[in-house]
Amino acid sequence: MNKEANKFMRKAIRISVSNVEKQKGGPFGAIVVKDGKVIARGSNQVTSSNDPTAHAEVVAIRKACKVLKTFQLTGCEIYTSCEPCPMCLGAIYWARPDKLYYANSKEDAAAIQFDDKFIYEEIAKPVEERKLFTKQILREKAMEAFEKWKTSPNKIEY
């Protein structure tokens, strides 16, 4: 691993440690880097903001997109103190950075009661077998938005 990647990972790890010390949320930190410069930082803010989506990676992605004035992070690298959960991994894929680096593993997180294994298992199940009641309704009505999107001259594809 190159020294620059290690330098950036140390920054993400420092954010995670500071977040615990300041009691802002879970022990997670992330940064977004473009052209060798940190353009955004994020820490887990779930409990301090009462937002279950305020994971470090999502916070960092949102900030980076504002800084870059774009909805994709092409040309960027994301460094996160822990292997991303399913939600964050999905957000990272949607953001389309060039690279992702992580420090702690999902098994390390599970050892301190941050266990996302059940989510991975639930996603793999057919909808009707999931623990969360899930039922598709009004598909035909909802298709109206999709039909309008298909023919919209103003759509921005992503």
Catalytic residue numbers, as ranges:
57
Could you tell me the two tokens for 89?
């991994």
- Concatenated DSSP letters of 88-119: HHHHHHHH--SEEEEEE-HHHHHTTT---HHH
Distance CA(58)–CA(10), nearest Å, equals 19
Q: Give all strands of the β-sheet with 99-104 in edge-to-edge order.
A: 37-43, 29-34, 76-82, 99-104
Task: Please work out, in degrees rounded to the nearest 5, the angle formed at the alpha carbon of residue 127 by the alpha carbons of 121 and 130.
Answer: 50
